[in-house]
Amino acid sequence: MNKIDRYLSGLFWMYFLGGLLVFATIYVSMDALGLMVEYKAVSLSAWLSYYGYMVPDVIYRMVPVACVLSIVFTLSSLGKANELVALYSIGMSLVRICTPMLVWVLVLCGVELAIGDRVLPNFAKLKNFVFYHDIKKNPSLYSMVKNERIWYRSHDTIFNIKTLNEKANKAQGLTLYYFNENWDLIQMITAKEVDLLGAKWQLYDGSVTLFTEESSFPLTSQFKQKTVVMGEDSKDLGATGNTSEVLSLDELSKFIKKNKEAGLDTIRYEVDLQSKYSYSLSALVMALLGIPFSVGRSRSGGAMRNIGLCLALIFTFYIFYTSSITLGNYGHLSPMIAAWAPIVIMSSLAYFFIRRVRL
């Protein structure tokens, strides 16, 4: 690195860290206000634990936002001080000026991927545990992913699900275990597919097995359709969080493979897997989007205009990205297209605008 690169890097990191702190604080504050209004009888230690475990996720979400803010403010400040003109006069192109900053953005993309793979799953488990035990005070809704299954407990019932689609209120690969007051197994119900209709669940293509003291052998009968009434807490099963958030990339890949082999629907999980990879590049895409606009408007300047520009870029990208992911979850787009189309299209758009910049 020469002195100019070090100077540009210093500006980038100053704005990046400041932006990350500001946007992370706003994100946590808004989230905390909403939760504290809904859940009032919660101790301060529970809130501190919950948001302490949430910090890596907030950083993960805010890194792309901080990157575009840093690029826009760095280039705008250079333009306002006529430093861009000086850099152009010594033969540096816009691409060359932005190179050290884009290198740091690429490094941050790698950090994003590592955080999403190695850090977030463990912290998500701890955060969910605190939420359902200490904040929502409904520990039966706390789910665990173990041995490629999702496990829950509801009063005297334990059940596991192979795949859960909370948006469509459907599940596949259900096994229900019923116990008496002494926690002896008295009944087991299996079902290939389930419609989660509140506290009433509609089961399809399954079996009922009874365990009685009078018989040394369990009694099993098959059914095509059956309705079971679950506990009141089970009607909120769809709100227990995304299974993918508590799995690493390798674990999620194995989870998808195992459920595919069992003939279960894994579209949503495949979208989640691809999005974990694609989202790690969103910081680079948003940084590239910020370059042409910050340079083109640097001379007319204005801090409020730059802030407005950042918000517009962030809003546009996230609307496009989340819309594509939603279409993928519902099967309207393939998982690969749903996760990567916004990245490719917005990168191409950024390249188009950069090529049109007049120095």
Tell me the per-residue pLDDT of 138-174, one tens digit each, with 9 for 90 and over.
Answer: 776 676 665 557 788 776 788 888 888 776 788 889 9
Assess contact for 205 and 133: CB atoms under 8 A: no
The whole-model pTM stands at: 0.81
User: What was the pLDDT predicted at 283?
Assistant: 95
**pLDDT at position 313 over 90:** no
* Mean pLDDT across 83-105: 92
User: What was the pLDDT predicted at 233?
Assistant: 55
**pLDDT at position 356 over 90:** no
User: What was the pLDDT predicted at 285?
Assistant: 94
* Mean pLDDT across 52-56: 96
Structure tokens at 271: 């979208």
* Mean pLDDT across 324-344: 94
Encode burial over 242-270: b for 16+ CB neighbours within 10 A, e otherwise: ebbbbbbbeebeebbeebeeeebbbbbbb
Assess contact for 24 and 75: CB atoms under 8 A: no
Q: What is the mean pLDDT of the chain?
A: 87
d(CA 60, CA 57): 5
Residues with Cβ within 8 Å of 264's Cβ and at least 6 positions away in sequence, in order, are 162, 163, 172, 173
User: What was the pLDDT predicted at 328?
Assistant: 94
Structure tokens at 276: 């974990």
* Mean pLDDT across 227-236: 71
Secondary structure (3-state) at 171: strand
Element (H, E) at 320: helix 303-329
Matching residue, tokens 């992913």: 145
* Mean pLDDT across 207-211: 93
Q: Which of 102-106, 212-216, 252-256 tops mean pLDDT?
A: 102-106
Residues with Cβ within 8 Å of 103's Cβ and at least 6 positions away in sequence, in order, are none
Assess contact for 169 and 184: CB atoms under 8 A: no
Side chain identity, residue 49:
S
Alpha helices, DSSP H, located in 209-298: 249-261, 267-279, 282-296
Secondary structure (3-state) at 267: helix
Residue 31's φ and ψ, nearest 5 degrees, are -65, -40
Q: Quick: pLDDT tens for 23-38.
A: 999 999 999 999 999 9
User: What was the pLDDT predicted at 140?
Assistant: 66
Pick the closest to residue 63 from 8, 118, 17, 121 (CA basis): 17
Q: What is the length of the chain?
A: 359
